[in-house]
Structure formats: structure tokens, C-alpha cells
């Protein structure tokens, strides 16, 4: 079996020491298929978007048509996970906020919006391997979706940014 490697690491370049680490394949992790994201919000808070393993009784049934294809391999690797966004407090070593993606979509990127009418909201990119259900959403701190781009054209969306004019810039 592979060693358990932390998913989030805070490295002090002056001392070359790890000041903090969190997550692994059995708790919170990232994937080569859907990437993930981290962002410092302030000295104590880290915004993290990635994958959370389902508890053993929650995992939805998944059919894989072509297990040798990219899609089949991704589905096999991700079938026991759901997308999750969280704000981790370094002082208390706990999450102070979380958002879970719907089954079958995985968080590829997340950032907090600073400035403008959406200031304090979160821009979340969700990829879908099984269908063209990838989407970009903006949620408020209470997990209400206040904007959504879901045209049915995307599977994997890597990154999104909210532009000054209110448009979204996507990389797929």
C-alpha cells in the first residue's frame, strides 16, 4: 500500500520545516483528475477545495462502461469521493465552514471573491467525469447558490475567475 501523505502542507522556507499538515487519501485529498485548490484567507484560515471520502454506507453505485479509458479510470478512482470545500482554522485545527458538492461532481478550484457585489462569496468550480455536468457556482457564506454556469458542455473545468465586468473566465 502507498504511504499516507498529507494533502495540505504549510512549509516554512526559512526553516525548511513543515509548520502544518492536513489530510490524506482516507480523509481529505486532491486528485490528478480534478485537481483542487487552496487559498490563504488570513493568517489563521485556509480555504481548501478537494475531495472527501464517502463513509462506507454513502458511496453511490457507479457503472463503468470502459474501465481502460481515461473516463473509466477517473470514475474508478473517484467513485468513493465527493467534492468538498472547507475553511480550515489553523488555531483550532478544525473546519469552520464546509460545502459538499452533489454526487458525481468534484471540486476543481475554489477562491473567495474580494470586492464588488459578491465580496465574501466563494467561486467554486465543479468537474463531472461521468457527464457534461461540470459547472461554476458562486455561493454565499450560508451555502446558497447565487450564480451558476451549467450549460451541459463541460466535463472537466480546471479553473475559473470572476472578471471585473462580471463575466467568468474558464479554463477547461
Q: What is the pLDDT of residue 49?
A: 92
Q: What is the pLDDT of residue 1?
A: 46
Rounded CA-CA distance 89/154 in Å is: 33
**SS3 at position 99:** strand
Cell numbers placing 44: 489563521
Instruction: List pLDDT tens digits, range 108-142.
Output: 999 999 888 899 999 999 988 777 678 899 999 99
Grid cell 473545468 is found at: 157
**In contact, 39 and 110? CB cutoff 8 Å:** yes
Positive or negative CA dihedral for 55, 61, 64, 67?
A: positive
For the question of whether the overall pTM of this predicted structure is more than 0.85, the answer is no
Q: Which residues of 14-46 are buried (b: 16+ CB within 10 A; e: fewer)?
A: eeeeeeeebbbbeebbbbebbbbbbeeeeeebb
Please name the helix (run of DSSP H) or strand (run of DSSP E) that holds residue 75, with its range, or none: helix 70-78
Q: What is the pLDDT of residue 62?
A: 67
Q: What is the pLDDT of residue 15?
A: 94
Instruction: List pLDDT tens digits, range 145-156.
Output: 999 988 777 778
Strands 159-162 and 145-149 come out as: unpaired
Lowest mean pLDDT among 19-28, 33-42, 84-93: 19-28
Q: What is the pLDDT of residue 90?
A: 92
Instruction: List pLDDT tens digits, range 59-88.
Output: 566 677 777 887 777 777 777 788 899 999
The answer, yes or no, to whether residue 95 has pLDDT greater than 60, is yes
Q: What is the pLDDT of residue 57?
A: 65
Confidence band of 17 (pLDDT split at 50, 70, 90): very high
Residue-by-residue DSSP string for 34-66: TB-EEEE-SSSEEEEEEEEEPPTTTPPP---S-
Backbone conformation region of residue 81, classed left if phi is above 0, alpha if psi is from -120 to 50, else beta: beta
Amino acid at each position: 500500500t502507498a504511504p499516507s501523505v498529507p494533502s495540505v502542507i504549510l512549509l516554512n522556507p526559512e526553516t525548511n520545516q513543515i509548520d502544518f499538515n492536513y489530510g490524506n487519501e482516507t480523509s481529505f485529498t486532491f486528485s490528478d483528475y480534478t485537481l483542487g485548490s487552496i487559498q490563504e484567507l488570513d493568517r489563521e484560515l485556509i480555504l481548501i477545495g478537494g475531495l472527501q471520502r464517502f463513509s462506507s454506507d454513502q458511496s453511490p453505485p457507479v457503472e463503468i462502461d470502459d474501465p481502460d479509458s481515461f473516463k473509466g479510470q477517473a470514475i474508478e478512482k473517484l467513485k468513493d469521493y465527493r467534492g468538498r470545500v472547507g475553511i480550515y482554522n489553523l488555531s483550532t485545527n478544525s473546519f469552520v465552514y464546509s460545502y459538499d458538492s452533489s454526487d458525481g461532481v468534484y471540486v476543481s478550484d475554489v477562491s473567495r471573491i474580494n470586492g464588488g457585489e459578491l465580496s465574501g462569496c466563494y467561486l467554486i468550480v465543479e468537474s463531472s467525469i461521468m457527464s457534461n455536468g461540470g459547472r461554476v457556482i458562486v455561493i454565499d457564506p450560508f451555502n446558497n447558490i447565487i450564480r451558476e454556469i451549467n450549460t451541459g458542455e463541460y466535463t472537466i473545468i480546471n479553473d475559473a475567475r470572476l472578471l471585473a465586468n462580471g463575466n467568468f473566465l474558464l479554463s477547461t
